[in-house]
Amino acid sequence: MFQAITIKNLIIFSFAFILFTAIGTISHEYGHILAAKLLGHDTTLHYASMNYDTSVLNDSLTTLYKENQTAIESNANFYRKGDYDRILKKLTGDSFYVTIGGPLQTILTGLIGLCIIFFRRKQMEANGLALLDWFAIFLALFWLRQVFNVVMSISREIISPNGSYFGGDEKNISDILNIWSGTFPIILGAIGFLVSVY
């Protein structure tokens, strides 16, 4: 059932892994972009990041804050408090949805690959791995992003401490939900590890 690893296979698998890593990174950013676009924001794509434009909302919030700073800081009512609260809520909500868009895209892609593997496992055992199976394996390995993020953020904190063992979108999601910053990184990292082992 298992074949010896040849130089040719090693080169093919290495190239495929590098290709799918680039595809995974860009598609992760498109998950953020899709969320931002659905919320009505202009976006800019970079290789490992994206930006979305909230300048109009930020300018409105800043203007309202400057005009009503004393009332806001003392939590008192003021003439346009409803507008201020609405803009603040929109900015916070949009930040959450845009942040969750990337990991959600990566997780869904990984789940698609995992489902294909699961439903084709009997054919794989009987006939070996077909091209579709290898495609599904590389899609399922999108879950490695969750493992990589945890390992890298903990390693970074050990080597060069900055006060947090966690980073990335998963930490930001935990922070926005006001739960321990390691909650989503550890849960998703553990699931990613189990998927990778499978």
| Bridge partners, residue 44, by sequence | 51
Which is nearest to 104 in space by CA: 45, 186, 36, 28? 28
Alpha helix segments (H runs only) across 39-80: 55-67, 69-73
Task: Identify which of 180, 195, 89 has the alpha carbon closest to the alpha carbon of residue 139.
Answer: 195
Residue 51 DSSP one-character state: E
Could you tell me the pTM of the whole model?
0.86
List Cβ neighbours of 189 (8 Å cut-off, separation of 6 or more): 146, 147, 149, 150, 151
Q: Measured between alpha carbons, how far is 111 from 71 in angstroms, rounded to an integer?
A: 49
Q: Is the separation of the CB atoms in 134 and 187 below 8 Å? A: no
CA distance 159 to 6: 37
Encode pLDDT of 10-32 as tens digits: 898 899 999 999 999 999 999 99
Q: What pLDDT digit, counting tens, does each position of 87-139 carry? A: 999 999 999 999 999 999 999 999 999 999 999 999 999 998 999 999 999 99
Residues with Cβ within 8 Å of residue 129, at least 6 apart in sequence? 137
- pLDDT tens-digit series, residues 134-173: 999 999 999 999 999 999 999 999 999 988 899 999 999 9
